[in-house]
Amino acid sequence: METFDIVVIGAGFSGLYALHRLRDHNVVCFEAGAGVGGTWYWNRYPGARVDIPSMEYSYSFDDELQQEWRWPEMFSAQPELERYVNHVADRFALRDKIRLSNGVERMRFDEAANRWHVHTAKGDHVVCKYVVAATGALSAPNTPAWPGRERFKGEVLHTTAWPSDGIDLTGKRVGQVGTGSTGIQLAPIIAAQAEHLTVFQRTPAFSMPSGNRPMDPGHEQEWKQNYPQRRQEMLQTAGVSMLQRSGVACSEYTEAERQALLEEAWTSQSAFQLLLTFSDVLTDKESNDVVSEFVRNKIRAIVKDPETAELLAPKTYPIGAKRLCIDNGYFETFNRDNVTLVDAKAAPIVEFTERGLRTTEAEYDLDVIVTATGFDAITGAMTRIDIEGVGGRKLTDKWVDGPTAWLGLIVAGFPNLLMIHGPLTPGAQAQMLMVGEWQVNFVADIIESLESDGFSRIDATEEAEGWWAEEVDMLSRYTLHRLADSWYNAKNIEGKKGGFMIYVGGFPRFAQLSNEAIADNFKGFVRS
């Protein structure tokens, strides 16, 4: 048994920064993967790319780092992000604190000593005062539960476990299941290589052209010269500052003006610009309908076969209610002779067969099946650890009807366990690298203040969890997000309970309320 001040779980962007920020303490980090980078270590499928401009999707904590690093493209691809995160691990000498391929499996809080006992896959048993869970909101893969996988003679790949040396799909019949953000990035690349691609779609996604291009030297220079101010602007928005925000409601414009503005946004080369064309796209259904129909018409214009175009055009939820996807020629892919779209909503997949996949209507012969089926999002990484808090209560029991957490940070009855990107935080409604960095600073400040004030334990009250649940619920009623079934509300996985798990009040309000709670003598917390 070893003793540490702090255990950090996860060596993604958040966990790595936590190691650096908390370096004056005795810290160890456990990471399930064999390398650092989290999302950008696991998701090495072809086409994996960030949807936030590179100059913004980068650490802000060290000015020399942000001045020296050169991003080759406006929107970074996975290999570049992995290279960057490895550079950071070396540059800040973080590696000797990280134990790779050594996931945390079990944790138990010792109430008498105010210590966590942490047990890992390789048998490590560590006792520590604080646990910083940087386990990721999108890190627990969702694997389809269809029976018969052992019968299938071909290969099954999940996008989060892509072979690191790639896979040659030339001459193969590939089935891709899932058309979320990942599937949209992947399909054009598979289609260009495979003999045939069959895309199984349950729910179509809204997507706009990514605008990726080689880094514009003027843009890079402008950001590097103004980084302090730019980073401040990011904190005052949601971390995406390149966008033009409209202060004008859709109803104020004529039809011709609306179409002209939307056309401008579509070709703006700034992801998400469509959602900001009018001030009320995410709050007013009629405004949203205008934007949704604009995108549906784009899909109809791109995709030559009208039936396929209609199937690809989302009609059951408002645009932006799930994170808008960005793509590099996704809809165009369906004009290729070697690509077929299958409506897996009308005829769901029921099983693997020896030859491929069977839906309720047909059997599809395939050599490779790629599951781009997303994640047991937000709560999955935490609930997959056996966590026992005060009174022997399991986290999975506490969260049986959905997650609770004060400020999305700490769960009542699970003291000294502080989450980064926990449930009920802004998550994908903000730029997550930036929010992760902010949350790590917030957590580090809390730990430092507890230490200097002589406390050894911090918990939340159930009353405070209730306040936060009300805040999250109240805000979700102001926006259209609740109208979509997605991983925001646990509806991407059959049977998963969760309610609305994302804070949609905006990062600035989230940060302000979090700071106010601390300033108000740790309101909602119990220190002892």
Ligand X SMILES: Cc1cc2nc3c(=O)[nH]c(=O)nc-3n(C[C@H](O)[C@H](O)[C@H](O)COP(=O)(O)OP(=O)(O)OC[C@H]3O[C@@H](n4cnc5c(N)ncnc54)[C@H](O)[C@@H]3O)c2cc1C
485/36 Cα distance (integer angstroms): 32
SS3 75: coil
106/123 Cα distance (integer angstroms): 10
Q: Which is nearer to ligand X, 104 or 344 (CB)?
A: 104
For every residue of 208-261, which 3-state class applies, written as one string? EECCCCECCHHHHHHHHHCHHHHHHHHHHCCCCCCCCCCCCCHHHCCHHHHHHH
Amino acid residing at 229: Q
List C-alpha distances in Å: 65 to 68, 69, 88, 242: 5, 6, 8, 21
Q: Which is nearer to ligand X, 41 or 503 (CB)?
A: 41
> For the purposes of burial, counting CB atoms within 10 Å of the CB of 391, is it exposed (0-12), middle (13-18) or buried (19 or more)?
exposed
* Minimum distance of ligand X from residue 358's CB (angstroms): 28
> Which residues contact ligand X (rule: CB under 6 A)?
9-15, 30-33, 38-39, 41, 43, 48, 50-52, 57, 103-104, 134-136, 138-139, 182, 381, 385, 420-421, 431-433, 436
Q: Which is nearer to ligand X, 48 or 276 (CB)?
A: 48
* Minimum distance of ligand X from residue 208's CB (angstroms): 14
* Minimum distance of ligand X from residue 325's CB (angstroms): 10
* Minimum distance of ligand X from residue 18's CB (angstroms): 9
* C-alpha 203 chain-centroid distance: 19
* Minimum distance of ligand X from residue 96's CB (angstroms): 17
Contact 366, 173 (CB under 8 A): yes
* C-alpha 238 chain-centroid distance: 14
* Minimum distance of ligand X from residue 422's CB (angstroms): 10
Q: Which is nearer to ligand X, 381 or 444 (CB)?
A: 381
Q: Which is nearer to ligand X, 57 or 71 (CB)?
A: 57
Write out the two tokens for 124. 């490590």
Q: At 53, phi and psi to the nearest 5? A: -55, 140
Q: Which is nearer to ligand X, 176 or 308 (CB)?
A: 176
Write out the two tokens for 340. 């077929």
Q: Which is nearer to ligand X, 148 or 166 (CB)?
A: 166
Contacts of 177 (CB under 8 A, 6+ apart): 144, 183, 200, 344, 349, 357, 369, 370, 371, 372, 373
* Minimum distance of ligand X from residue 359's CB (angstroms): 26
* Minimum distance of ligand X from residue 431's CB (angstroms): 5
Q: Which is nearer to ligand X, 134 or 319 (CB)?
A: 134
List the beta bridge partners of residue 371.
158, 177
